[in-house]
Structure 1
Amino acid sequence: MEVRILKYFLAVAQEQNFTRAAETLHTSQSNLSRQLATFEDDIGKKLINRGSRKVTLTDEGMFLRKRAQEIVDLVDRTSNDLTNFDSDVTGDVYLASAETPAMRLLADVMFEIQNQHSQIRFHVFSGSTIEVTERLDTGLVDFGILVEPVDLQKYDYLRLPVKDTWGVLMQQSSPLAQKDAIEPADMRDKSILASRQMLDSNVLSGWLGINPHELNIVATFNLINSPAMMIERGMGYAFTFSNLINTTGNSDLCFRPLTPRMETSLYLVWKKYQVMTPANKLFLKRLRDKLAF
């Protein structure tokens, strides 16, 4: 598959129209249509449903769209990294992170680097542990922050000197808000908004005494900000880390830790034998220096 053709395909998927896509690509509509028709013939799959007013993607086309975007992003990244490889003051650092307050530590390092090397740019993706490891393993990001439990055999890593504390986010008016800490029995009959990170890793099964999937899960999420609004409206409770949502002042929400206390270690990881760009090396050095104090 040629990267050029994948970019053609992505433009059509984005614009849902051959004419507009051709304009963004600075080519003719007839050439674009012909190139994609040949591409479909070559792979033996129909990717695009051609309508009179707009085009839509087939199931195979929707599958390819995600993969094509990953391929194009990786090619563009590689080209950019090679361009900046001999420079110690420019470049891009790609980071994926499970949702954690530990990002504040890394943000301090990013801020210091930016002040001294304004041409270094940071690109941050937030998602579940599975999404972070996928991006690491496919080379779409340079570093990842992973939450225990995690298999570290295929990564080099730094253990971060912070721990995340598990607890429950709830309405201030909830009866459980009167408690200093939440016990497993408190959550057995509650409506739960569950992070995919919690479900993927099964990290709370020991504390709960049951598989988290056995709870009354009414919604799942990747990031806590939108579910926090759902909790404000009375949808239920969410297991999450402390200090992700501001519950001070006039907030309608509150956070209560678990008892017995549940803490999780965090790791900055990167692929073993990874060839690092100057920007990546600088980021890792500054972080190590900060952790040494």
Structure 2
Amino acid sequence: MVPVPLPSPLQETEDERFTKHGVRLLLKRDDLIDPTLIGNKYRKLTPNLRAAAGRPILTFGGAYSNHLRATASAGHALSVPTIGVVRGDELAARPLNPSLAHCAAHGMRLHFTDRATYRRKADPDTLARILREAHAEDAYVVPEGGSNAAAVRGCRALGEELPEDVDVAVLACGTGGTLAGLAAGLRQGQQALGIPVLKGDFLTADIRALHQAAFGGQFANWRLDPRFHFGGYARTTPELEAFARDFENRHGLPVERLYVAKMLYGLVALTAEGAFARGTTVAAVITGTPFPA
């Protein structure tokens, strides 16, 4: 039985970088939603686990993918077989890094594929070949990052859980599925802001496509600010690291570096720029917590 996630807590947070601009900061603690499936991974994966109906789950990710780790953890907890298609050369990935070692330790069968094939994974013929080579023709396929129509509908509750006095909900974006669901669940007048952690301008089109697939229409209550990716996915800088440590010290909150730190940094910068009018209530969605090494 795949459980339905309970609403995550909302935490009032005093931080002078916001209060001096008249902005009220709340933290939507999705990192506390479940000890095994953290935050948005829970919301995105549980609808897909239900749809799989006991079939093996096959999904995709890079060597440091949080999505692969979460899928492996979910499969282990629910006794569902999982296969992770990993971008890159297997020999180069040995010995396994902590992310892939976690996947293997939690029962995920790893299948490595070259980068050219990985880029074409959405092509039906290429996908069929990957499934054959992975001996997973009967698998239920979940896309990279877990973002499909089922996942987006699962993330709609994230917006619905926010109280009426929240004006803007902010979160980090990888594949856009969580933002798409969040926007769909907001009340009239509320806005969603996504901070992409990857470089490139593909995400707007992807989110629109996810809205169309999940709900048959579009939403106009969201936007992206692409300035805070710090070099792209899995990239950090000393400046970002110092910011994350400082936020942890101020608030006693473990800050995940690849997504959450970039979102919080962007939120502080936007507030300093005057992007939010005085009296605005902002809810920052903490989508995950650092994985142990």
The TM-score with structure 1 as length reference comes to: 0.23
Query: For the pair shown, which has the larger CA radius of gyration, 1 or 2?
Result: 1
Which structure dedicates a bigger proportion of its chain to strand? 1
